Amino acid sequence: MSLAATDIEARAVLFRTCFGQLKTEIGRVFVGQPSVVEQLLLCFFCQGHALLEGPPGLGKTLLVRTLSDALDLQFARVQCTPDLMPADITGTQLLVEGHDGIRSFEFQRGPIFANVVLADEINRATPRTQAAFLEAMQERRVTVFGATHRIDEPFSVFATQNPIEMEGTYPLPEAQLDRFFFKIRIQVPDIDDLAEIMVRTTGEQSVRVSTQFGADTVLSLFSLIKQVKIADSVLRHALHLVRATHPESPEAPPIVKKFVRYGASPRAAQSIVLASKATALLAGRYHVATEDVASVAVAALNHRIIRNFTAEMERVTPEEIARGVLASAPAL
Amino acid sequence: MSDSRRPAVSVVAVLGRFQRRLRLVAFVKTLPLSVAVAAAGALAVARIAGLPPTVTAIALLVGVLAATLASAAIARRHTGLGRTAAAVDRRFGLSNRIATALECRGHDDAMSALVVADAEAALCLRRPQDVPFEAPRHLVWIATLFAAAVAAFVLVGEPSTAREQLAPSEGVLGGSASASPANAKRTAASPAAAASASDANDTARRSMPAAPNDRGQRVESPQAASTNETADRLPGASSDTSSASERGGESRNPPGANTTQTTRPNGANSARQGGRDGAASADGSSRSQAPAGRGGAGTSSDVRATTDAAGGVRGTSTPDARASGDTLRAGARASDLTPAARWDRAESALAREHLPFEMRKYVRDYLVAIRTGSRP
């Protein structure tokens, strides 16, 4: 066995360790819903962006904040409001005076240049401001006054939105939604989790998380994830899932033909494959299996499926449609 | 990077053993269906064509052999290395390990080497014998199909036993068999033709006064029309006798007249076909080209040619019969042969003909009865 293979094995072990430690640290603050934490971490290690959706008070902001606390990374929080301007996110040119008394414009970086960005209640920002996130999320760079500024890696945007309060909000356009790696739905905790939350938050001692690792480790692990192998048959299985979300495609199951107006983009396939690779590493494998694809497909597809009027009238959720697509996929 | 390539060969080698096992499993799985279909088909063809048991057995054998080859081909086709890898993954719950390793073989990167090594380790723990044989799908339907085919073969064959009940003296060779319902159905191209074939049966029986051992009277009598028909089936008389029967057995043809070259009312080719197709062509209606064919009356010359070619019973033969008969093509005139040689020739000629079993038995009994040594 070559040295590189040994190195890969060591990094794979490191990945599993880091993932476990982060999960444990987050679990000390964020009670319950381990699948939500796993999806968030997968998204982070795959250098994707996540949209967390849930009613108020379920700990969406706390979850992301805890993640940033557990990492030795730059963290920025943007509280989105209707009067938030794009420059408040990307930064702007400021007139500054140098030591020699000469005044010049200098680019003042906005919060988007942090490693982990929390865009709280992103649907309260105006479309213009939301669009400011677009280039940053996809291209990982910002163009201000004609000058392009690269964003440091690792970079992830975690946005939250409240699906209940729709007044005064600006729903994210499909193009914006497509840029999110996962859409993670946070559920109301059960009574045991609620009791644990009460114990932790109403007691005398407050829980603090410890910093685990920094940017280099994250980038190294991201590089490792990309090296994981995927067989052609498994890849085609993932692509089949994406194709099946399009009602006009022959692979589409009846639920898609009935309830979907437009299906997932190739970005969905990218998300599925990348997240599957990370899942495979977590399972101790160096290759992707179909169960890895199945475990991440719903989170990658549900915000990319655009329902038609019938689905909205019959209250068929995109998640149900994504599960229908997964169930109808032929076995390998 | 030889380190990463070396295990890949091993994976393929191990996978080869699984491939052979999966081929065997697939072969066993598909064999019952293919054999059942082939056997049922062979039985159906044998019954429809009225093949004798020997030919039926051969058809069955060929069908089963073809089915076996088809199953082998299917098993081979559906168990390539990729499919084998997927099947092994699925069978042993290996999470696409083997399929991925198969694609990674030969890659130089360390991750591929790890994948291949992982697959190799997983395969080492499994044996090809762990892949169990599978019961074929729709086994009940396969068994039902086969049983139905056998039952149909047996039951449809029952009516022919009625012909066996006919006394040997009731009709000479063609009479009863040539106009049997099965043959009439087989050869009649239209209901009218079938009806005429049925009529031919009656006519033939009525016109069959001679006993089997009454050789001289029967074969030379113009009334022994259906002799012509059955003898038509013997080699050496195919075209001539069938043309005679094609002419409809009008019983107006003068005895001894060699009508082979003279009159072929509705096409000699079809007459030849009718003569070969079956005994129902005695009335010449098997191709619906010989109108009002009745009785299958032939001519004495035809009969002579036939019997001569079949075994040299008469000791003479017409040039036409010589020209067309397999036996005569073999060389010597039948009259030049010894009785034993004639008998052998008749036997072989009879064996080559596609005759129903009862018909064959009847003809053979007849030949036994009329041969020199058996005369009282």
Tens of pLDDT along B147-156?
A: 887 787 777 6
B99, B126, B156: which is the final residue of a domain?
B156
Same-domain status, B307 and B196? yes
Same-domain status, B148 and B169? no
Strand partners, A182: A50
For residue B32, whether the previous peptide bond is cis, meaning omega lies within 30 degrees of 0, is: no
Structure tokens at B201: 């049966």
Same-domain status, B135 and B224? no
Same-domain status, B147 and B250? no
* A256: closest CA of chain B, how far (Å): 28
Indicate the pLDDT class of residue A330, thresholds 50, 70 and 90.
confident
B139, B156, B173: which is the final residue of a domain?
B156
pLDDT of residue B318: 41
CA–CA gap between residue B162 and residue B152 (Å, rounded) = 17
Cβ separation A229–B118 shorter than 8 A: no
- Domains assigned to chain A: 229-332 (1.10.8.80)
Encode A125-137 in three state secondary structure: CCHHHHHHHHHHH
Q: Are A332 and B86 in contact (CB under 8 A)?
A: yes
Q: Are B203 and B223 in contact (CB under 8 A)?
A: no
Whether A87 shows a pLDDT value over 70: the answer reads yes
Q: Which range is least confidently modeled, A26-35, A236-245, B100-109, B337-346?
A: B337-346
Beta strands A75-79; A116-120: pairing state:
parallel
Structure tokens at B350: 């009879």
Same-domain status, B150 and B63? yes
pLDDT of residue A159: 92
| Of residues A229, A232, A290, nearest to B115 (C-beta) | A229
Cβ separation B111–A229 shorter than 8 A: yes
Same-domain status, B219 and B133? no
Provide the domain count of chain B: 2
Whether A37 shows a pLDDT value over 50: the answer reads yes
Q: What are phi and psi of A149, to 5 degrees?
A: -125, 130
Please name which of A230, A279, A274, A234 lies closest in space to residue B90, comparing C-alpha atoms.
A234
Contacts of B103 in chain A (CB under 8 A): 229, 231-232
More confident residue, B193 or A269: A269
Cβ separation A286–B86 shorter than 8 A: no
CA–CA gap between residue B173 and residue B302 (Å, rounded) = 14
Whether B78 shows a pLDDT value over 80: the answer reads no
pLDDT of residue B154: 75
CA–CA gap between residue B338 and residue B318 (Å, rounded) = 19
For the ranges A78-87, B68-77, B179-188, B194-203, the one whose mean pLDDT is highest? A78-87
Cβ separation A285–B99 shorter than 8 A: no
pLDDT of residue B243: 39
Same-domain status, B295 and B343? yes
Please name which of B87, B92, B111, B93 lies closest in space to residue B101, comparing C-alpha atoms.
B111
Taking residues A187-191, report their average pLDDT: 89
pLDDT of residue B331: 53
Whether A197 shows a pLDDT value over 70: the answer reads yes
* A227: closest CA of chain B, how far (Å): 7
B141, B156, B171: which is the final residue of a domain?
B156
Same-domain status, B47 and B179? no
Taking residues A79-101, report their average pLDDT: 88
| Of residues A1, A9, A234, nearest to B96 (C-beta) | A234
pLDDT of residue B188: 39
CB-based contact (8 Å) between B221 and chain A? no
Tens of pLDDT along A277-325?
A: 999 999 999 999 999 999 999 999 999 999 999 998 999 999 999 999 9
CA–CA gap between residue A17 and residue A13 (Å, rounded) = 6
Contacts of B118 in chain A (CB under 8 A): 285-287
* A198: closest CA of chain B, how far (Å): 41
Owner of token pair 């040997």? B168
Closest Cα in chain B to A227: B111
Indicate the pLDDT class of residue B48, thresholds 50, 70 and 90.
confident
CB contacts < 8 A (A, B)? 73
> Chain centroid to CA A211: how far?
21
Question: Could you list the residue range(s) of the whole structural domain that residue B295 is in?
Answer: 162-374
